[in-house]
Amino acid sequence: MIPRLYDCDGGQVLVDGVDVKDYSLVNLRDGIGMVLQKNTLFSGTIAENLRWGDEQADDETVRRMAEYAQADKFVSSFKDGYETMLDQGGNNVSGGQKQRLCIARALLKQPKILILDDSTSAVDTATEAMIRRAFREELPGSTKIIIAQRITSVMESDMIVVMNDGRITGIGTHEQLLESNVEYREIYESQIGGNS
């Protein structure tokens, strides 16, 4: 609803206190980056796919954002590197590689709002931690909305909203929710509580 792929049935969606319906679609969508669990890559080279984030990006910037997204290492291992041709849908790379390429594309866009919908589900937790650091360092002024089932994806967030069956069951920081929200605490304990 933020980029107006759908409009809400009731109430309002506000960005900087302004109803999203009052922005032009071009201006609204130019300021938003989205990385979804099921990512979209197109037929063409890896570099062309990444430049959907910023058509004017030079080769060094493309490579740097791929490094931040933990994609440069595997891209560089391909015989043609960034000129490697991707099949339609990116079917010739793995799910985790697709996610990292789409994250690099989002970093290139430098959006004001970045929506991450389970966007690191196919990468290991160490890689995810490096990607989260890149979001902090490369997009410090951006609002990041992270939808995740993996608790490590959200633990450092300023605000966490716990949802169950479309209903909000808790809002707070990681520490606040550990103390006050049974559901959040159970998720934490089931995923990492015994390892901390």
- Break the chain into its structural domains and give their ranges: 31-149, 158-196
Question: Which of 35-49, 61-75, 138-152 ranks highest by mean pLDDT?
Answer: 61-75
CATH 3.40.50.300 assigned to domain 31-149? The reply is yes
Query: Which segments within 77-181 are labelled E, that is strand?
Result: 85-86, 113-117, 143-147, 160-164, 167-172
Rounded Cα–Cα distance for residues 165 and 176 (Å): 22
Residue given tokens 């290492």 in the structure block: 73
Torsion of CA 7, 147, 121, 46, to 10 degrees: 50
Distance of CA 49 to the CA centre of its chain: 16
What was the pLDDT predicted at 172? Answer: 97
Q: Is the pLDDT of residue 194 over 80?
A: no
Q: What is the pTM of this model?
A: 0.85
Nearest to 164 by CA among 151, 183, 181: 183
Nearest to 38 by CA among 108, 117, 115: 117
Q: Give residue 136's identity as a one-letter amino acid code.
A: R
Q: Is the pLDDT of residue 193 over 90?
A: no
pLDDT in tens, 106-143: 999 999 999 999 888 878 888 888 988 888 888 888 99
Q: Is the pLDDT of residue 1 over 90?
A: yes
Higher pLDDT, 135 or 80: 80
